[in-house]
Structure 1
């Protein structure tokens, strides 16, 4: 990959990193267990209804995020790669389209999560980056609260 291709890639990607005061196995379960995931997934004030959650490569994840204003946001994803307990890769097939890579690294007794969203186009990235960056931080805030209740 040359420098121009790298620059294009970075011009379409949001990267959010957080260190959680929880072991990697606990953080992994919070992502891989749909009963836990639906409790914390999404920005502040959002709730979820999961319709399909096939946690395996090629498996579907279809759900509705319910916004605090009553608006429903249907989501459809496809799991691309699952490497327990290190990485989950999925394609978000509904708009806005992106590839999500969640990487789980052990840091002593804690877990560093790197949350990467690579958007299909630079235009999509530009139109959503402010909202998605804030939403990602709120999402990880909710995960931190969830994990605190699991210990």
Structure 2
């Protein structure tokens, strides 16, 4: 008989990255829509934000524009925001998942743990191959954005 832990393992993608930037800077890149729309999404994607309320109960609606011209409509609800430590977002449009971003301070660096818990093992199975690489692309874009931001501030 499977326990709750086993169930989560069959529905969750976890990506971890250490950024050469202070936690406050990384957290702000997630909570400031002008910064977020620059780096959010896999390589080659761009974004149009329609609504962005970074507060519990707030809505984040946006269109991701794929490199092949396909538009992907997204709607999210902000569940929790604990500056500068944690953000929890429900992706309410398909595919449905809960995104938890945890920001750990490592001196002048930041460790980000990016967890996506999908609504079912079936949805996870359909998405995992694309989402795994997409998450890596997303965090690569964030790393590049933060490096550019640090260069501008120096």
TM-score of Structure 1 vs Structure 2, range by shorter chain: over 0.9
Aligned residues: 150
Aligned residue number for residue 96 of structure 1: 95
Question: Offset of 1:4 from its aligned partner?
Answer: 1.2
Matched, 1:126 2:125: yes
SS for the counterpart of 1:19 is: strand
Structure 2: state its 5+ residue gaps: none
For normalisation by structure 2, the TM-score amounts to 0.96
Q: What corresponds to 2:57 in structure 1?
A: 58
Secondary structure of the structure 2 residue equivalent to 1:100: strand
Q: CA deviation at 1:27?
A: 0.2
Aligned counterparts, 1:1-151, within 5 A:
4-151=3-150
Distance across 2 between alignment mates of 1:5 and 1:18: 26
Distance 1:6 1:26 in 2: 33
How big is the shift at 1:3? 6.3
Per the alignment, in what secondary structure is the counterpart of residue 69 of structure 2? coil
* C-alpha distance in structure 2 between counterparts of 1:128 and 1:28, whole Å: 26
**How many angstroms apart in 1 are the aligned matches of 2:23 and 2:5?**
30
* Structure 1 unaligned residues grouped into runs of 5+: none
- Match of 2:49, SS? strand
Matches of 2:71 and 2:119 in 1, distance apart? Answer: 23
Q: What is the RMSD computed on CA atoms of the aligned residues? A: 1.0
CA shift at 1:10, angstroms?
A: 1.2
Provide the secondary structure at the position in 2 that maps to 1:145: helix
Question: Which runs of structure 1 show a deviation greater than 3 angstroms over 4 or more consecutive aligned residues?
Answer: none
Distance 1:147 1:112 in 2: 13
d(CA) in 2 for partners of 1:105, 1:24: 7
Distance 2:117 2:7 in 1: 11
